[in-house]
Amino acid sequence: MKTQAGLAVTLESMNSNSPDHPEIGPATPDHYGAALWMATGGRSRHAHRGRVTALLAAEKQGRISFDGLMTATRGSRVVSSIWCLSQPGKIGTVWGPGILSEESDATADLLIQRAVEFARQRECHLVQSLVGQENPIAGNLLCSSGFRSITLLSHLEALTEDIQAEPPRSDLQFRRCEDFRSESFRNLVAQTYENSLDCPELDTMREVEDVLEGYHATSNRSTYNWYTLEYEGESIGVIITAHHAEPQQLELIYFGLTVGFRKLGLGGEILRFVLQLAQFLGCRSTITGVDQRNVPATALYRRFGFQQADVKELFLLPLRLPNVAVA
The predicted structure's pLDDT at residue 141: 95
The predicted structure's pLDDT at residue 135: 83
The predicted structure's pLDDT at residue 228: 97
Q: What is the pTM of this model?
A: 0.85
All structural domains of the chain, each given as residue ranges with its CATH number in brackets, are 4-146 (3.40.630.30), 157-309 (3.40.630.30)
**The dihedral formed by the CA atoms of 271, 276, 278 and 279, expressed in degrees to the nearest 10:** 150
The predicted structure's pLDDT at residue 236: 98
The predicted structure's pLDDT at residue 13: 42
The predicted structure's pLDDT at residue 14: 44
The predicted structure's pLDDT at residue 321: 58
Per-10-residue mean pLDDT, the chain, length 327: 40 48 94 93 58 89 93 96 94 94 94 97 94 88 95 96 90 95 94 86 80 91 95 96 93 96 96 96 96 95 95 93 47
